[in-house]
Amino acid sequence: MGFFEKLKNGLAKTKNSMMGRIESLLHSFTKIDEDLFEELEETLILCDIGVNTSVKICDMLRDRVKREGVKDPEQIKDLLKDVITEMLGEDQPLDMSTTPSVILVIGVNGVGKTTTIGKLANRLHSDGKKVIVAAADTFRAAAIDQLEVWTQRAGVDIIKHNEGSDPASVVFDAMQAAKARNADVVICDTAGRLHNKKNLMDELKKISRIVHQQAEGCALEVLLALDATTGQNAVNQAKLFNEAAAITGIILTKLDGTAKGGIIISITDDLQIPVKLVTVGEQIDDLQPFVARDFVEALFE
């Protein structure tokens, strides 16, 4: 099955819920008026697109309707497709421009972070890159064990210390190993739970400092893993993490298990953080780059 078919299948719940509501609403109107826009705004909010983004979408639609002289409510669907595509903007792939390139993966426990790192390692390995994974979530022995299983499946190296070790020391050793083994990418797992934002910031700063000391000028991605099934709670998590860390992109997990895939639009617009990767299944190859046009096509097709 191709990536687009996987994405389309993964978005089926979102499409059925979101587009079903929107189409039902548009069918109930014979003309385009303010009542239609108000109900559409409510519908978008119910689809986990968020208040601010829903208001913005409807404002953009009003402008398009007025500018193009659209009269038929049925045409709103095509305009909505264009507006969402515009809002999602240009795709932003991972920055793999240096050797090594470094990816820090952050996020709360339970979002599928460790599993996603395994899938990412597998994808990069399949692309011909030499990958080293740093098991720097040293607060949970289970995280280290789980990551080791995934790296074995992906066929990549892992650098690990004992539970309770200094996470930054694991990253230091991983960077040393990357240089010694001429690795292309270092992926760092990080603690899923720290006591407060200051702890999180301090830990990430320390890890980032070591990365730059060991590979000066290296490309560094800070990716936040979010669980799509939590809807607007995921957006709130992103806001908090973004205050503590310079997030460069989002990995949205469990997209196939939810009707709340509309949060991709909210995250991109409200937070101005690009969604870079999505997972649409349980298999090791079920992680793929986020392509905005494919997302919109799968949603509206």
pLDDT at 194: 59
pLDDT at 274: 93
pLDDT at 131: 98
Residues of the chain with pLDDT under 70: 1-3, 193-196
Closest alpha carbon to 274 in 228, 199, 222, 236: 222
Residue with tokens 């949205």: 252
For 218-283, give the DSSP string: --EEEEEEEEGGGTHHHHHHHHHHHHHS---EEEEE-GGG-S-TTHHHHIIIII---EEEEE-SSS
Q: pLDDT tens across 144-185, in order?
A: 999 999 999 999 999 999 988 999 999 999 999 999 999 999
Distance CA 272, CA 262 (A): 15
Distance CA 99, CA 219 (A): 8
Q: Are 45 and 55 in contact (CB under 8 A)?
A: no
Alpha-helix residue ranges (DSSP H) falling in the chain: 3-10, 12-14, 20-27, 34-46, 51-68, 76-88, 113-126, 141-154, 167-181, 197-214, 232-244, 263-266, 292-300
CA-angle at 192, arms to 8 and 169, nearest 5°: 120
Q: Please list, in sequence order, all residues whose beta carbon lies within 8 angstroms of the beta carbon of residue 109, skipping any fewer than 6 positions away.
A: 140, 192, 193
Residue with tokens 């997030």: 247
DSSP 228: G
Number of neighbours of residue 218 by Cβ within 10 angstroms: 18
Quick check: helix, strand or coil at residue 272?
coil
Assigned token pair, 96: 């793999």
Q: pLDDT tens across 203-233, in order?
A: 888 888 898 888 888 999 999 999 988 888 8
pLDDT at 193: 67
Domains of the chain in start order, with CATH, are: 3-88 (1.20.120.140), 101-300 (3.40.50.300)
pLDDT at 1: 58
Assigned token pair, 38: 């108000």
Residue with tokens 């038929």: 72
Distance CA 229, CA 286 (A): 17
pTM of the complete model: 0.91
